[in-house]
Structure 1
Amino acid sequence: MDLTHKVKAGLDELRMLTLGCQVLVGFQFQAVFQELFADLPDHAKAANIAGLLLMILAVGLLMAPGIHHALYGDHQATRGVAHMTSRMADWALPPFALSLGLDVLIGAEQVYGTAAGVAGGLAFAALALGAWLGWGMLARARHGRKEREMADLRGDETADVAQKITFMMTEARTILPGAQAMLGFQLAVVLTKAFASLSPPEKALHAAALGCVALSIILLMAPAAYHRLVYAGEASPRFLTVASRLVTAATLPLGAGMAADAAVTIGFILGSAMAGAVAGGSVLLVLALLWYANPWRLLRRRLVT
């Protein structure tokens, strides 16, 4: 497989993982406002908070390579982009697996009791880690050595405009479905009884989060319409520039919306607006570091050298 196809395959794999993460993030946000959530034991509520934060971290890691590719990689097929895509996917799997285990714990506990819930959560977290990382690490010792050596020797490739547009569209598709699912959960929350009990500032913050995610969806869908109406689907360097800026810009309101809803949700669970603000601020800081600070650091390093 040449490097261009390898980068495309890596972005497609990230798209699969990101959609699953973002759907679960939406569920974890919405679950807090269900009628029976208030009756959960404190450890189950804490598990939901931990699972939510872990899943947001996984989403941040999985979306980082696409943003890095746009800001730093100029949508080129490089070894650096391929390596970062693989590395971020590997780093995202442990928090994804742990969050999944916590979700199973909460669900199983309501059906079979605390002991069974804990056992089920641990079992599914271990199963996910084993299937996603352990199996591959064990197989690595016996298989794939030739392919890894070839990957180390392969040089960077120059992608043409059409291929760059394909990369950019794949990056947009990585973000869009999850953002749409999250917007659906945000809209459903507004119609719950628990939402009515929020303070006016909390309701306003959720409305702002909803608006941010909706704006992100509009920006992510704009390149497809622009490409069709202006260029009839043909490859154009001008379109690549405009579309890349739109997709990159869409991550700003998306990150803000996730952080704002994390503040509302965690503040509601703990009964403390201050705790919610700290959680939301922490989420925003982590996403900013993963999505913007690290690519900017790598860009400055490239310009210096």
Structure 2
Amino acid sequence: MREKSSILGEIAASNQSFGRFAFRPARIKRTVEENSRVKSFYLESKGMEPPRPGQFFMIWLPGFEEVPMSVSDAGAGYVRISVSNEGPTTAEFHRLDGGELIFLRGPFGNGFSLSGRSFLLVGGGYGAAPLIYAAKSITGAGGRCTFLVGARNKEELLFVGEARGLGIRTTVATEDGSEGYRGLVTDLLKTELKKRSYQAVLTCGPEMMMYEVVRQAVKLRIRVQASLERFMKCGFGICGSCVLDPLGLRVCSDGPVFDGALLLKTDFGKRKRGASGAQVRLC
């Protein structure tokens, strides 16, 4: 196996030539177990371009896949990513601890547009990660937001305490009723939109959940933005593995955040592409 110092030297050299498109090492400052499936990593961000809420990094562990990961927080000297244990690569991430190095490229993509004063945020599962970062930015700028958070059960809820600590009105839905409303977060959305008015809706989570959020908001003529997850190989628009048909929109470079009305003109909520590039129908 090659010496780590040799790998770091090559990465530093390429980084000078290609900037955010090249790998750079990032040391893990500390980790936090968010729930039984999600672990957050606070990375040193010295020399990094500050990410905007909704942007993502391509992150790599030698010997494993390179995967896209959204930013769940950022501040002076750190960037936080929150990783759900979904397969071999993310399982390896969960074995890491403070002081270790990972490699990343970015930040990439278009983030949320946060113009306005009142926002409704709707998150499902680990889709709450980019939304809590957006919520922090909104409240920091003096805006108002409500956070609707859904999960299968109490143990899988994410960032509820953090949102409430920011003074954000937060309502929870769990499918098994172990905390908050028993049912889907989209049921809470219907009630919320009847009770209060918002300038914009932001959403991230399972695609069928987001499809319903977008559909409801567009019907009421409320500006809505959705942050999509797709299979990505390059991260900056070359490979086409993340394309939205039939418009040819690339999630990595044209997104991952899209206007909801535009998404309804694509196969969003209907189909996506798998690792081979073949289309997969969403249930």
TM exceeds 0.5? no
Higher helix share: 1
Greater gyration radius: 1
Higher relative contact order (CA 8 A, sep 6+): 1
TM-score (norm 2): 0.26
- Between Structure 1 and Structure 2, the one with more strand by share is 2
TM-score, normalised via structure 1 length:
0.25
